């Protein structure tokens, strides 16, 4: 029996469906001071107001802190300093904000974590000590789907060397609250990308490990089947120019969190999802959302697995998984996994066109190998040549155009958002809502706000004060 990650003294995240569940949980936990961390994109929405009302009803004094954009280690450490007097933290936002909250709570409890993260690491993967545990309970309320950060013991952290994956049992939130009101303003295409993100992560772990685990494999395939069923429902909603209902959004959110369940990957190779490392570097290097990068990478990656290159994954398990995907969808799909996933993503209207020069591809391939390969267990036996081939197959290399702004310039091509009956959504308007940069493990729900501190009036949203902290606009 090999080493199993995310199994330690820190308990798994408790799940609550509906903000009403928080009302039941709060009275059972002592203390009166509560810090409410809110993403700027949703700070003035119903979900934050309801969480604050719930906290006040439970007799908590609330300090509301509004965060804008991704945070560096220094900024998260600054936030951790503000939490020293808090007895409970509730974080409302997308993947980036939840990652910041998880790390800030742990830094407030164990300053040694900052020392560990401050050391320059060649590896893109950083493991924290099992002895590092939070003293402040953290409740997460996700306003996006896909990352599942609300239920995981992992975060992404931007550094001057690139984006790092940090794992530790102490990063596991105490409670995750899933409520459809939290995703009510999330654009429909980001719901679709969220489904793809769960599929990308879950399939990567399943296919990337060759060993047969009958019970765990059955859980994975059941989750994948349900994902595709929900995606088909979402396709129908988009075709009719309708708005996804509360039930559909809650079901998608459930699978997003459940995808981090220990029982899906117990005793699997923790580094099985090779595509994640490539997507991480490609999205960072080209300034893309991670799902745009992942969508571009999936067809050539699955093509190599299907052609029986065992270093990328198991061809037999990939075909088995694809049969589940194809059977779960109403409309027919190509029988081959590589062609099939390309057709499925196009049907889902997921952006996957990327342009980059060969020189830029080479730079990113080298950065990927440096951070995740060259003897590190994450990429295993895969070489720079292997990484370069997959990335080159995923990216279009345009001819040099007169007046190009710089060598290696990139551009993500977008699929038209027209449904079968000609309905077109206004992406610019949806971006105004602050969600456009969310769909990366570290792209949060977007950046908005002017960075000005302000105080609540103590009205319907409850007593307390609000402080808005500015975050630099780097990609995480």
Residue 29: pLDDT band with limits 50, 70, 90: confident
Measured in residues, the chain has a length of 476
CA distance 354 to 404: 16
Average pLDDT over residues 97-115: 95
Which pLDDT value is given to residue 160?
A: 85
CATH class of the structural domain 188-412: mainly alpha
Q: Which tens digits make up the pLDDT trace of 171-225? A: 999 999 999 999 999 999 999 999 999 999 999 999 999 999 999 999 999 999 9
pLDDT (mean) for 223-228: 98
pLDDT exceeds cutoff 90 at 19: yes
pLDDT above 50 for 302: yes
How sure is the predictor about 120, in pLDDT bands with cuts at 50, 70 and 90? confident
pLDDT at 315: 98
* CB-CB contact of 356 with 392 (8 Å): no
Angle at 14 between CA 8 and CA 19, to 5 degrees: 155
Amino acid 472: pLDDT: 27
Average pLDDT over residues 232-236: 96
Angstrom distance (rounded) from CA 199 to CA 204: 8
Q: Looking at residue 268, what is its pLDDT?
A: 95
- Domain positions in the chain are 14-184+447-469, 188-412
pLDDT surpassing 70 at residue 427: no
Residue 68 Cα distances to 4, 275, 290, 460, angstroms = 35, 29, 19, 24
SS3 content of the chain, % helix, strand, coil (to 5): 45, 15, 40
% of the chain at pLDDT higher than 90? 72
Mean pLDDT of the chain: 84
Q: How large is the average pLDDT for residues 30-40? A: 91
Q: What fold characterizes domain 14-184+447-469?
A: Rossmann fold (3.40.50)
> How many C-alpha atoms does 223 have within 13 Å on its Cβ side?
29
Average pLDDT over residues 303-311: 96
Mean pLDDT value of segment 424-451: 38
Confidence category of residue 399, pLDDT binned at 50, 70, 90: low
348-380 residue pLDDT tens: 999 999 999 999 999 999 999 999 999 999 999
Alpha helices in 67-122 (DSSP H): 73-82, 95-109, 112-118
**In sequence order, which ranges of 287-380 are alpha helices (DSSP H)?**
290-306, 315-328, 337-347, 358-372
pLDDT score, position 289: 92
Q: Give the pLDDT score at 140.
A: 97
């Amino acid at each position: 029996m090999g080493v199993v990650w995310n199994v330690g003294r820190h308990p798994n995240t408790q799940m609550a469906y509906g903000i009403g569940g928080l009302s039941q949980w709060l009275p059972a936990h002592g203390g009166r001071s509560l810090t409410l961390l809110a993403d700027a994109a949703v700070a003035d929405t119903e979900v934050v107001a309801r969480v604050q009302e719930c906290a006040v009803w439970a007799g908590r004094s609330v300090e509301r802190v509004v965060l804008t954009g991704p945070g560096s280690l220094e900024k998260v450490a600054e936030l951790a300093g503000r939490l020293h007097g808090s007895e409970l933290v509730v974080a409302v936002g997308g993947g980036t904000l939840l990652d910041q909250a998880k790390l800030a709570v742990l830094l407030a409890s164990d300053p040694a974590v900052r020392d560990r993260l401050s050391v320059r690491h060649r590896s893109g993967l950083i493991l924290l000590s099992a002895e590092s545990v939070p003293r402040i309970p953290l409740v997460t309320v996700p306003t996006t789907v896909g990352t599942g950060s609300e239920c995981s013991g992992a975060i992404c952290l931007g550094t001057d060397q690139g984006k790092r994956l940090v794992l530790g049992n102490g990063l596991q939130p105490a409670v995750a609250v899933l409520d459809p009101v939290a995703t009510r303003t999330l654009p429909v295409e980001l719901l679709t990308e969220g489904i793809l993100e769960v599929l990308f992560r879950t399939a990567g772990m399943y296919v990337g490990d060759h060993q047969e685990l009958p019970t765990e494999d059955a859980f994975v395939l059941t989750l994948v089947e349900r994902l595709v069923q929900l995606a088909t429902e979402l396709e129908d909603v988009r075709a009719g120019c309708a708005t996804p209902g509360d039930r559909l959004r809650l079901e998608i959110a459930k699978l997003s969190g459940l995808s981090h369940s220990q029982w899906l990957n117990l005793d699997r190779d923790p580094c099985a999802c090779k595509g994640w490392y490539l997507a991480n570097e490609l999205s960072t290097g080209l300034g893309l959302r991670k799902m745009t990068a992942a969508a571009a990478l999936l067809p050539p990656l699955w093509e190599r697995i299907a052609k029986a290159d065992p270093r990328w994954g198991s061809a037999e398990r990939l075909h088995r998984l694809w049969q589940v995907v194809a059977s779960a969808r109403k409309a027919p799909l190509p029988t081959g996994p590589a062609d099939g996933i390309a057709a499925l993503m196009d049907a889902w209207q997921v952006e996957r066109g990327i342009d980059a020069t060969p020189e830029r591809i080479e730079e990113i391939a080298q950065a990927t190998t440096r951070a995740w390969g060259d003897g590190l267990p994450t990429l295993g036996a895969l070489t720079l040549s292997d990484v370069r081939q997959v990335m080159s197959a995923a990216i279009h290399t345009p001819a040099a155009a007169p007046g190009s702004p710089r060598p290696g310039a990139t551009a993500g091509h977008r699929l038209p958002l027209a449904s079968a009956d000609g309905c077109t959504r206004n992406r610019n308007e949806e971006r105004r809502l602050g969600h456009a940069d969310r769909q990366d493990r570290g792209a949060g729900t977007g950046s908005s706000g002017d960075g000005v501190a302000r105080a609540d009036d103590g009205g319907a949203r409850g007593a307390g004060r609000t402080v808005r902290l500015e975050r630099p606009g780097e990609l995480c």
